[in-house]
Amino acid sequence: MSDAKKFMFVNRKAPYGTIYALESLEVVLITAAFDQDVSLAFLDDGVYQLKKGQQTKGIETKNFSPAYRALEDYDIEKLYVEKEAMTARGLTEEDFLVPVTVLGRAEMGKLMDEQDVVLSF
Amino acid sequence: MLHIINKSPLTSVTLDTCLNTAAGGDILLIEDGVYAATRGSAAEAQLRAAMGKFKVHVLMPDLEARGLGDRLMDGVSAVDYGGFVDLTSNNKTCQSWL
Amino acid sequence: MKYGIVVNEGPYQHQASDSAYLFAKAAIEKGHEVWRVFFYHDGVHNASKLTEPPQDDRHIVNRWAKLAEEHKVDLVVCVAAALRRGIKEDNLAQGFRISGLGQLVEAGIKCDRLVTFGD
C-alpha cells in the first residue's frame, strides 16, 4: 500500500437526470480492486446521490443507490459530504443511506489538495 | 493544484463552488468557462475578488472563438494549449470541475 | 511527463473531445508522452467508425486515430459504457480498442498527470 495513490472521486451531479452518478460509482468499485487510497466527495447536487428511500420503479430505471452501501465491503469508507451543499438542499446526515463525514468547505478544499488523482464525471 | 472550469458562471454554480471550496492554486477557464473572464460581465467582480487566493488563466483560443478576445479582464493571464499543458505539468494534480 | 486523458462526452455534441485532442497534441509537441486516452460515458461515441461529418468539418474520430498511430497513443473505449450505447467491435473505428474500466484506474496509477474533459 505504500506506493498507493490517493484517488478522489468528486461527485457534483444528481442521480437519474443523467448517468454520470451511476457510471462514476462503477469506476469507484473497480478502483477498489487496485488497492489505492480511495475517497469520495459529494458536493452540490452530488449529495442527492446519497439520499435514502430512492424509489425508481415509476421511472423504470434501476435503483443503484444500494451500491453505496456495498462500498464498505470493498473497504471504501471515506465518504465526505460538503456541509454547505447538504444544508442548502434541506438535508441532514440522517437523510443519507450510508454513514458519511460532513466537512465544511475549507476542510473539503484542503482534502482535495492532498490528492494524487482527482476524477470527476 | 490546477482547477479547470468549463461552465459559464451565468448558468452554472461550478465557478462559485470552486472558488468557495478549493484551497487556492491555479484556475484555468476553458470552453464556456471563459465567459467568466470577460470585462463587464456579472461575474467580473467575483473573479476579481478571488484573485488573491487564486491565479486565474483563460484559454485564449476558446475566448477568441466566442468573439470576446478583446474583452479579457485585467489580471487574468491568457494561455494557449501549450500554456494549458504547462499548467498541468507545473501542478501536482488537476481537477476538472465537471 | 506521462499523461493520461479522459474524454467523457461524445464528438460534435460537446466541445470536450475537441479540447482533449488539442490538449493531447500540444502535450506531444512539448515532448510529453500521451500514454492513454480513455473514453467513458458518451465519450465512447468518439470511437464509432460509422461517423460521417460533412466534408468541410473536422473528422473527430479519424483525427484521434491518426494521432494514436503517429504517436503511439493507446485509445481505450470503456466496454460497459460502449455496450450500453451500441459501440462494439463491429463498428469500432481503427486505432481504438475496447477494454475494461481497470484501464482508466491504471492510467491514474501509472501516469504523472490525468486530465479529464467532459461536461
**β-pairing, A78-82 with A37-42?**
parallel
Mean pLDDT within B25-53:
96
pLDDT of residue A63: 97
Report the distance separating Cα C95 and Cα A33, nearest Å: 28
What percentage of residues in chain C have a pLDDT greater than 70? 100
Number of structural domains found in chain C:
1
- Asked if the model's pLDDT at residue A81 lies above 80, the reply is yes
Pairing of strands B54-59, B25-29: parallel
Q: What is the mean pLDDT of chain A?
A: 96
Mean pLDDT of the A64-82 span: 96
Of C44, C26, C22, C13, which is closest to residue C119 (Cα–Cα)?
C13
Number of structural domains (chain A) is 1
Here the CATH number for the domain that contains residue A58 is 3.40.1260.10
Cell numbers 489538495 correspond to A113
Q: Using 50, 70 and 90 to split pLDDT, how confident is the model at A2?
A: low
Cross-strand pairs, A23: none
Helices (H), A56-121: 66-70, 83-88, 105-113
Chain segment A17-64, per-residue pLDDT in tens: 999 999 999 999 999 999 999 999 999 999 999 999 999 999 999 999
Contact A30 C116 (CB under 8 A): no
Positions of C marked catalytic: 78
Q: Which of C3, C7, C23, C33 to mutate to test the interface with B (most CBs of B within 10 A)?
A: C23
**Helix (H/G/I), strand (E/B), else coil: B29:** strand
Q: Is the pLDDT of residue C109 over 80?
A: yes
Q: What range does the domain containing C14 cover?
A: 2-117
| Cβ distance of A108 and B25 shorter than 8 Å | no
Report pLDDT for A25. 96
CB contact under 8 A, B89 and C19: no
| Superfamily of chain region B2-96 | DsrEFH-like (3.40.1260.10)
Average pLDDT, stretch C87-110? 98
Residue A45 is predicted with a pLDDT of: 98
Interface test with A, best of B5, B18, B21, B94 (most A CBs within 10 A): B21
